[in-house]
Structure 1
């Protein structure tokens, strides 16, 4: 009897459970009947009640009796105090839970789904990750949508009051290992002395749907809520954001709009929202039983204002006298007076791994250089960038006394390895720092014309090719003989393409070597296909995937347009959807899914979802490249929303937390070793007995990593905009009364979805602009413009007036 399983087959799914124990063995949908939504490891339960839980353990309650019912079955504990009941409908499963009170600190239910990189007998593309996360402010309900790389979606709703939900993370923090719904969580510390609810019963549902959109609609119906769904999660002041309402019939009152300044107003129109104040708008809808739902839209500042606000804050508070930039500062004191959970000082130029060259601190100076390239030189920012490049990174005037992690122009030896000149001084072999620096040096030369720095850039590139390059692979070899592929820890191809382009403009003979290296790297990444090596704990990692796409698509666009680059880049980008967030919150929508950066950039909490982290920009950049190649408007919109997740975290002062964390209960940071010595818990506060409720931006620290969004905005949305003719959705621009005006400071590219009946575009007389269409452009007519050249879906125009007209023939 112990191993007798019963299989229930419904229209949308099949569920299999043990009739003796009530344990769920399998949960399969019709789209991929062989892929189990439940975690496959024997110790990963789904539907098991536990009591006496903590951050690290819990006591699971076995069911002493299983009873079949008309619609499903129920399991009852030996005391009868804990029970679970299943009801199986054609497209959903309802689960009701009852358990004992006062058996904390945590009680709840194991709901272990088959997360990416869990043990599996199938391909990782059949596993899932959380894509949409919503938690009611008063914990009366919550909903989630889990997505698999093969395109399937599974909804989960918590239908009644609950205490918390929790994602469990691996020791190193790079893998999700479990999911819990808690009825009691007494050890979680909330703000202002508040407590999470403690209940002895709740219910939740699994919902099967063929698409994300249908899943959202079913969730709204299941919970009796109305959901406002913006067509795009933000735009500049003056934008009109088209919206649709899900489950409108359940509305008990008109939506309420909460403006960025805190004022509220009833929304008379629900089909669109006009943005007027910079900041986040909240659209609060009311459904059945008084349940409210909040959707969020960002009104972004102008790009110039954003650059200036951020650049001057980081210049004032993050730059050391020597030119280095700190990794982190405390928010209250605005000083680098702490240690991250990684065990690294917030900012100390004399300490290993603290103030980095290229990555982290280098982003602040790089963003300043981009500002000066886009909007003209600012003497204050130029001085700051010069101090970083010359005095810190290149050690000019003190080359015999280099700072840790900066360019050393002599041969060197460190940790048993010998390096040619231009290796970073006493730096472990983390190649992304040298690649980032290569790009920064190229921009510095563009800005200043400094030929000596150009020579340094070429020497650095040749060092990389000599010491860290094998058949197109960028090699990390911190342990002699143990080589790790670092080609896409950051897309190494970017440094060689940027330097190659700069050298080609100068007719420098070294240009070809850089382009050849870029092609070799792209060939290697293309051969590697769906293998994504990265630093740290091995996992199917967001960054390595998106950087693979950037490698292939940038090389396709700028160097060698090999068909295999485009084909493989497209395949990886589609699979990457499993590692992207969605929903109706501008802080998260189209952020990539990462969950370990708070360990390296904060003193707040451990592994937890890092919505809007600077590394989300890799995904946004990959999508922008793809949109340009394939003329895909939806990809362009998704890319823009990825940038918005980063803009959301820019505070009024210009400082940025490293991310927004939707987790209720973050993971615990793991013990770290610095130079082989464990960082003591007494110093690093590694294992608190309680954890703080998250669901907010990292509160204690500002981080430098967010500057990366300004770096890549200069190459994308400083030039690009988009427009959807059917929904009248503007991307990085304003559409009003039949007129489109781009918000891009260097606007030269517009991607249009559909052919407009009549469309007036604001431009500058004499300007050259590319108009791209997602469909055949043959029916489009252009007025007040001269055609310079044209392809099937693109036309390059020269504006004859300050406006041009695009219309259907």
Structure 2
């Protein structure tokens, strides 16, 4: 061991020793073979007992101070391209680390507008959260996602003084980092302010309507904040900043002329006008780049149908979704499309009205929901036929214990999918809609929903999800199944029958799920939930990478809203609004949207096998590719939140 401080640091937070991550100037990572989850593999240099790494001529010193650990890395080598530290934290899923509640999530990375200031907040379900602060200049960080299970686990965090030359040339020779515990995100910001000797801006609400004022809190002493060249004075630890125009607005605190650490909020003009622009900007060109399945890539259909329910039939909007509805109701088997057509006849082991060649049950339930909305909007009886047929088919998957189960090509056994995309929502909606026109079917759907809710309650704190079984790590704890478990119980209590124990259990799940709720004060990230694998299929398809403001954040946001309506606890209304704002803030002024915001500087490279197939660019932004499908899920689930007078 280098010293006692290093030993304490490793034993407390890491699975292995810290090491140097590097590439050589003579390396060309753009032509190498690549595994999944990363665009290239770095070299690694280990420290000896004196903290020296011979290959890179590097020296690491560690000391304990100010409630944490200071790490200082230097090198004398002129041969290095990438240069930094491997920090193999006890990330969630690591084996032999005491179980997931004792492990860490890479929850809230932060970088100021020009990446001058970088820090990362790691959450721990037992409350032993960590704050990592770059004390010296650094190019950024890189997450090494697992080389197995589709990169669905955090494996190793790299803090990089220098990126490889394929991304950027910096030639730094030092890296200073602080790692310490923080009981909360606010406590972490206080630590950042202390260490950097700068004020730090943040907020409790990430959005404001143009012409109104948003409260910007500042940790640390400051004189004023600046937003869009306007100064706003210190009013006693905070400033009131006026929202102007449309888009993301960065707000920076100053003390004695020194620039502090900024935050970014979202300013919108009118929420219904924004909704209108978002509907009319739906593009078949965008959607043609997806697989078109009835779950993720038909969300725009539901959103537009519900929009027309509120504002009346619109021929231009109908033309945007007619091709989707036609494919979904195609009756010629030769023209039917996998995972899109709901085929009206039984075939090849599939029941009638099953999604064509798909056992992915969320596609089945979403399709049924789309057909019900199509019937409500368009009044064509064929959509009611397809709606009830598809829902009847979907509920054949319900087992005696109430779970919705399926077996997919990667499954070892039948799996519980009840909380994969919150399948209870279309069941309850269908039951309510059919009460006056098909009472027997409605009663059956209500009974199925009751069994689903009871199953989720009885299941406790087990959160099965759609994943690949593997032996390299502990079972994956997926935030979506967690938020959908809470939403399942709350949706039942809100729409069908209030059951106190369900609300209590939902609150327990929401409290635990806070570890997956992002705190970074950048509007598309703030109150987003934590996901990082969808970026292989979505946006620029260059993941793995954190996908902030992802549509599935809405599961948590809607659960927060329902908890508020059931209990009157207004802090959950604010949580819900911030969650929705993480999605709305991805929409540009013309109404075009993105699947997510990617804070990763270096993304995983997508489904590629060689560096020759990878675009080596610093991401840390929205994807270049706009999205017209999944990104509309927020609107599909927004009817309650839009009616909230104290909301948008």
Match of 1:482 among 403, 413, 420: 413
Give, in angstroms, the shift of residue 289 of structure 1. 9.5
In structure 1, the partner of 2:508 is 571
With over 3 angstroms needed to count, the CA separation of the structure-2 counterparts of 1:514 and 1:606, relative to structure 1, is same
1:51 aligns with 2:29: no
Is 491-500 or 133-142 further displaced after alignment?
A: 133-142
- Find the aligned partners of 1:166 and 1:117 in 2 and give their Cα distance: 19
Q: How does 1:445-460 map to 2 (within 5 A)?
A: 445-460=375-390
Q: Deviations over 1:365-409 (max 9, x none)?
A: 2111111222333333245445533x221226x578533331111
Is the 2:539–2:596 contact (alpha carbons within 8 Å) kept by the matching residues of 1?
A: no
Is 304-313 or 80-89 further displaced after alignment?
A: 80-89
With over 3 angstroms needed to count, the CA separation of the structure-2 counterparts of 1:76 and 1:288, relative to structure 1, is farther
In structure 2, the partner of 1:442 is 372
- Find the aligned partners of 2:434 and 2:314 in 1 and give their Cα distance: 26
Is the 2:420–2:481 contact (alpha carbons within 8 Å) kept by the matching residues of 1?
A: yes
Q: Deviations over 1:106-144 (max 9, x none)?
A: 221111212222223423122121232222444443111
Please state whether the residue corresponding to 2:465 is helix, strand or coil: coil
With over 3 angstroms needed to count, the CA separation of the structure-2 counterparts of 1:243 and 1:492, relative to structure 1, is same
In structure 2, the partner of 1:509 is 440
- Find the aligned partners of 1:79 and 1:179 in 2 and give their Cα distance: 21
Match of 2:275 among 273, 294, 307: 307
Q: Deviations over 1:431-484 (max 9, x none)?
A: 111111222222222223444422321221111222565532222223598312
Is the 1:668–1:687 contact (alpha carbons within 8 Å) kept by the matching residues of 2?
A: no
With over 3 angstroms needed to count, the CA separation of the structure-2 counterparts of 1:399 and 1:58, relative to structure 1, is closer
Is the 2:232–2:239 contact (alpha carbons within 8 Å) kept by the matching residues of 1?
A: no
TM-score (normalizing by structure 1): 0.72
Match of 1:123 among 99, 102, 112: 99
Q: How does 1:80-159 map to 2 (within 5 A)?
A: 81-159=57-135
Give, in angstroms, the shift of residue 286 of structure 1. 3.5
In structure 1, the partner of 2:619 is 694
Is the 1:144–1:155 contact (alpha carbons within 8 Å) kept by the matching residues of 2?
A: yes
1:26 aligns with 2:11: yes
Is the 1:601–1:703 contact (alpha carbons within 8 Å) kept by the matching residues of 2?
A: no
- Find the aligned partners of 2:419 and 2:558 in 1 and give their Cα distance: 14
In structure 2, the partner of 1:433 is 363
Give, in angstroms, the shift of residue 101 of structure 1. 3.4
Match of 1:244 among 210, 213, 217: 217
Match of 1:607 among 541, 544, 552: 544
Give, in angstroms, the shift of residue 56 of structure 1. 4.1
Is the 1:131–1:580 contact (alpha carbons within 8 Å) kept by the matching residues of 2?
A: yes
Is the 2:224–2:239 contact (alpha carbons within 8 Å) kept by the matching residues of 1?
A: no
In structure 2, the partner of 1:261 is none
Please state whether the residue corresponding to 1:25 is helix, strand or coil: helix
In structure 1, the partner of 2:337 is 403
- Find the aligned partners of 1:395 and 1:551 in 2 and give their Cα distance: 32
- Find the aligned partners of 2:201 and 2:117 in 1 and give their Cα distance: 17
Is 137-146 or 569-578 further displaced after alignment?
A: 137-146
Give, in angstroms, the shift of residue 547 of structure 1. 1.2
Please state whether the residue corresponding to 1:293 is helix, strand or coil: coil
Is 372-381 or 429-438 further displaced after alignment?
A: 372-381
1:372 aligns with 2:308: yes
Is 231-240 or 540-549 further displaced after alignment?
A: 231-240
- Find the aligned partners of 2:304 and 2:614 in 1 and give their Cα distance: 42
- Find the aligned partners of 1:196 and 1:49 in 2 and give their Cα distance: 18
Give, in angstroms, the shift of residue 654 of structure 1. 2.1
In structure 1, the partner of 2:574 is 637
- Find the aligned partners of 1:104 and 1:669 in 2 and give their Cα distance: 26
Match of 1:215 among 183, 188, 192: 188
Match of 1:473 among 375, 379, 403: 403
Match of 1:717 among 630, 641, 645: 641
In structure 1, the partner of 2:227 is 257
Give, in angstroms, the shift of residue 296 of structure 1. 0.9
Consecutive unaligned residues in structure 1, runs of 5 or more = 9-14, 18-23, 28-36, 67-74, 190-194, 259-263, 319-325, 330-335, 337-345, 348-353, 672-680, 723-730, 733-809
- Find the aligned partners of 2:140 and 2:94 in 1 and give their Cα distance: 23
With over 3 angstroms needed to count, the CA separation of the structure-2 counterparts of 1:276 and 1:603, relative to structure 1, is closer
After superposition, the CA RMSD in angstroms is 2.6
Is the 1:295–1:584 contact (alpha carbons within 8 Å) kept by the matching residues of 2?
A: yes
In structure 2, the partner of 1:321 is none
With over 3 angstroms needed to count, the CA separation of the structure-2 counterparts of 1:361 and 1:59, relative to structure 1, is closer
In structure 1, the partner of 2:36 is none
Is the 1:604–1:699 contact (alpha carbons within 8 Å) kept by the matching residues of 2?
A: no
Is the 2:21–2:158 contact (alpha carbons within 8 Å) kept by the matching residues of 1?
A: no
Give, in angstroms, the shift of residue 50 of structure 1. 3.5
Is the 2:353–2:390 contact (alpha carbons within 8 Å) kept by the matching residues of 1?
A: yes
Is 116-125 or 284-293 further displaced after alignment?
A: 284-293
Match of 1:16 among 3, 7, 29: 7
- Aligned residue pairs total 622
Please state whether the residue corresponding to 1:578 is helix, strand or coil: helix
- Find the aligned partners of 2:296 and 2:55 in 1 and give their Cα distance: 56
Q: How does 1:184-583 map to 2 (within 5 A)?
A: 184-189=162-167, 195-248=168-221, 251=222, 254-258=224-228, 264-268=229-233, 271-286=239-254, 290-314=258-282, 317-318=283-284, 328=286, 336=288, 346=289, 354-357=291-294, 359-386=295-322, 388-389=324-325, 391-395=326-330, 401-404=335-338, 405-413=340-348, 418-425=349-356, 427-467=357-397, 469=399, 471-479=401-409, 482-506=413-437, 508-537=439-468, 539-583=476-520
Is the 2:40–2:611 contact (alpha carbons within 8 Å) kept by the matching residues of 1?
A: no
- Find the aligned partners of 2:483 and 2:21 in 1 and give their Cα distance: 38
In structure 2, the partner of 1:164 is 140
Higher helix share: 2
Consecutive unaligned residues in structure 2, runs of 5 or more = 30-38, 470-475
Give, in angstroms, the shift of residue 551 of structure 1. 1.0
Please state whether the residue corresponding to 2:407 is helix, strand or coil: strand
- Find the aligned partners of 1:167 and 1:63 in 2 and give their Cα distance: 21
- Find the aligned partners of 2:525 and 2:384 in 1 and give their Cα distance: 39
Q: Deviations over 1:540-559 (max 9, x none)?
A: 11211111111111112222
In structure 2, the partner of 1:173 is 151
- Find the aligned partners of 1:568 and 1:637 in 2 and give their Cα distance: 21
- Find the aligned partners of 1:652 and 1:89 in 2 and give their Cα distance: 47
Is the 2:185–2:519 contact (alpha carbons within 8 Å) kept by the matching residues of 1?
A: no
